[in-house]
Amino acid sequence: MNKFHLLSAAFFLFSFTKPAQSKSPGLDVIPSTLTTSITTERVVTHVENKETVVERAFDEFIENSFDEMDLRGKGLKLSVYRNAMIGYQNLKRSQKISPSKSILTIVDFSKPSRHKRLWVVDVKARKLLFHTYVAHGQGSGADMATVFSNNVNSHQSSLGFYVTSNTYMGKHGLSLKLHGMDPGFNSKALARAIVVHGADYVSKDFIKQQGRLGRSHGCPALPTELNAEIIKVIKDRTVLYIDAQVSSYSSHLLDKSGALMQFAAETKTNPATFQARI
């Protein structure tokens, strides 16, 4: 319930409540408008305090888990991790992802391809599962990905939040389908056959030869030796977030208020999971 609804409820309640009568001779009765004003202020203060507590707990959870997994030491920016966590919570709230999994995959295409720029974490266990290389689309740039597209045949990578789907055997071997969650940014992922797959051009040897990774047709391609293992962990409705710190990107899934509502519900229903660890 947001502040507007709480204020409306308070106004309705006190509009139909008779003011208390003074039992002391000579004392005036407190005006009902003043009573309503005082109580409404208390409701607002209570809502603000509750929101502040939840937001503080959520921010602490993000920062603490980031430090526990030493993600800064593994090259991940806190700002990217925070955005990924906000989207993760919103996708949980909308029931788009599996309730039995807590896997979050993050890709940062603001880093050059010769750097390891993919992280797979278990949010609940606060554990870094994988940290490795990932290729971007050949239409997005050489070593650095600088342009992105949702268009068919662009051969460019697409930014935003994805939900993983089922696997299949394709021309690159075991592959994982992706559903783009951001209209205008990655919503054509299925039509473009943007999938997770392995590729021999995603390797240290290729970097030594070319000074960068090879490039895909827009797929987040992985090292062949890790492809099957990673896909096994992230398949079946988990979150994949691709960031590049591009100002033109926006997403309804980055709404922090929605993430706070989900986080508050979880900390209430599963206190041992979160409250004791914050």
E-only strand ranges, 9-126: 103-108, 118-122
pLDDT the model gives residue 31: 57
Whether the Cβ atoms of residue 118 and residue 234 lie closer than 8 Å to each other? no
pTM (two decimals)? 0.81
Q: Measuring CA to CA, how many Å separate 101 from each of 3, 123, 157, 178, 235?
A: 32, 9, 26, 17, 10
Q: For residue range 197-221, list pLDDT tens digits in order.
A: 999 999 999 999 999 999 999 999 9
Q: Would the pLDDT of 20 be above 90?
A: no
Sheet of 239-243, strands arranged across: 127-132, 118-122, 103-108, 239-243, 160-170, 173-180, 195-199, 221-223
Percent of the chain surpassing pLDDT 70? 78
Number of H helices, E strands in the chain: 6, 8
Average pLDDT, the chain: 86
CA 195 – CA 49 distance, rounded (Å)? 44
Average pLDDT on 243-266 reads: 95
Average pLDDT on 150-178 reads: 97
Better-scored residue on pLDDT, 79 or 10: 79
Q: Would the pLDDT of 65 be above 60?
A: yes
Three-state secondary-structure class, residue 102? coil
CA 86 – CA 106 distance, rounded (Å)? 12
Q: For residue range 103-153, list pLDDT tens digits in order.
A: 999 999 999 999 999 999 999 999 999 999 999 999 999 999 999 999 999
Q: How confident is the model at residue 268 (pLDDT cuts 50, 70, 90)?
A: confident
Q: What angle do CA 81, 254, 141 make, to 5 degrees?
A: 65
Q: Would the pLDDT of 10 be above 60?
A: no
Q: How confident is the model at residue 11 (pLDDT cuts 50, 70, 90)?
A: very low
221 backbone dihedrals φ, ψ, rounded to 5°: -85, 145
Q: Go through the domains of the chain in sequence order and give each one's CATH number.
A: 97-248 (2.40.440.10)
Q: For residue range 76-94, list pLDDT tens digits in order.
A: 999 999 999 999 999 999 9
Q: For residue range 27-60, list pLDDT tens digits in order.
A: 445 555 555 555 555 544 444 566 688 999 999 9
Q: Would the pLDDT of 67 be above 90?
A: yes
CA 162 – CA 87 distance, rounded (Å)? 10
